[in-house]
Amino acid sequence: MKGILFAFLGGAFITLQGVANSRISQGIGTWQAATITQLTGFIMALLILLVVRDGNWQGYKQVKPLYLSGGALAAVIIFGNVTAIQQIGVTFTISAVLIAQLCLTLLIESNGWFGLAKRKMRLPQFIGIGMMITGVLILKF
Amino acid sequence: MIAGLLLALISGSLVGLQNIFNRKVNERMGSWATTALVLGMGFAASLTFGLIFEGKRMLPLHNMQPWYSFSGLIGVGVVICLVQGVRLLGPTYAVSIVLTSQLGFALLWDSLGWFGLDKIPFTYNQLIGVLVIVGGILVFKFGSERENRNFAATS
C-alpha cells in the first residue's frame, strides 16, 4: 500500500514538475526556468547526500563519462517538454513523451546497446505501443 | 501542433536515453549521488544553452518570484517516490502506476487550467483516450514481464 502511494505521488510530481516549469518559463524564460529549478534541486540533493551518506562518490571512476554526462540531456528535455505543454497541452505532451520514451528504451534493449542485456521484443510490447498510439488518436480527434 | 508534437517526441526519446544512462550511474554511485550529479549536469547545460541562445538577456530575472526556485524541490520528491516505489513494489508495478498517475494528473491539469496554463475543456474522448493509453502501458509492462519469466523458466 505504501509502495502504491509512493508510485502514485511520484507520477503526480512528474506532471506537476512539467506544469510548474511551463508556468515559470512564462515568467522568466525557458532556459532560465530550467537553470533555476535544477540548481535548487541540485543543492537539495547534495544536502540529502551529505546527511544520508548512501552514495559513493568514488564510484564515478567506474562509470563511462558518456553515462555520467546524461544529466545534461535534461536541458533539451525540459525545453522540449515546456514548449510542447504550452503548444499542445499537458495530456497530449505527456502521452507523446511516454510513447517515445518506451519506444526508444525498447529499441535500445532489443539491440543490447550501451552494454545492456539484450531483451527480445515481444508481441505484448508491440500491442501495448499500438494501444498507446490509438489512445493518443482518440484523445485528439 | 506538429512542432509541439515533435518536441514532445524528442523529449521523450531523450528521457528514455537518460534513464538508461542514469541507471548505469546509479549502480555505482547510489541514488542520491546520482540525483545530485544528474541535476548538477542539467543545471550546467541549461545555463550554457541559455547563455548561448540569449546572451546577456539570460541573467536579469525581472519577473522572478520566490516560489520559482522552490519548484526545483519537486524533482527531489520525484526521486524519493520513485526509489521507494520501486523498492517496495518492483519496477514493473511501480513504473506502471507512475505512468498511469502521470497521465491522470495531466488530464486533471488540462481540464482545470491551474497555474495560468490554457484550459483544455474535459471531454469523454480525452478520458477514453487516456484509458486506452493506460491499457497499452499495462499490456506493455505486464505482457513482457510474463513472457520474460516464461523465457527464463524454459532456458
Domain assignments of chain A as residue spans, ordered by start: 2-140
Q: How many CB atoms lie within 10 A of CB B4?
A: 19
Tens-binned pLDDT, residue by residue, of chain B (155 aa): 899 999 999 999 999 999 999 989 998 998 899 999 999 999 999 999 999 999 888 877 778 888 998 999 999 999 899 989 999 999 889 999 999 999 999 999 999 988 778 888 899 999 999 999 999 999 999 987 665 555 544 43
List the single best residue of A139, A140, A141 to mutate versus B (max B Cβ within 10 A): A139
The interface pTM score, or ipTM, of the predicted complex is: 0.93
Which residue from A44, A77, A37 is spatially nearest to B61, judged by alpha carbons?
A37
> Which A residues in the span 87-126 are in contact with B, Cβ-Cβ below 8 Å?
87-105, 108, 114, 116, 119-120, 122-125
- Which residue in A49, A84, A130 is closest to B11 by CB distance? A84
**B73 Cα to chain A: minimum distance (Å):** 5
C-alpha cell at A9: 505521488
List the single best residue of B6, B11, B103 to mutate versus A (max A Cβ within 10 A): B11
A141 burial class (0-12, 13-18, 19+ CB within 10 angstroms)? exposed
Q: Indicate yes or no: CB of B139 within 8 angstroms of CB of A74.
A: no
Q: Indicate yes or no: CB of B129 within 8 angstroms of CB of A101.
A: no
- For A95-122, give one letter per residue: b (16+ CB within 10 A) or e: bbbbbbbbbbbbebbeeeeeeeeebeeb
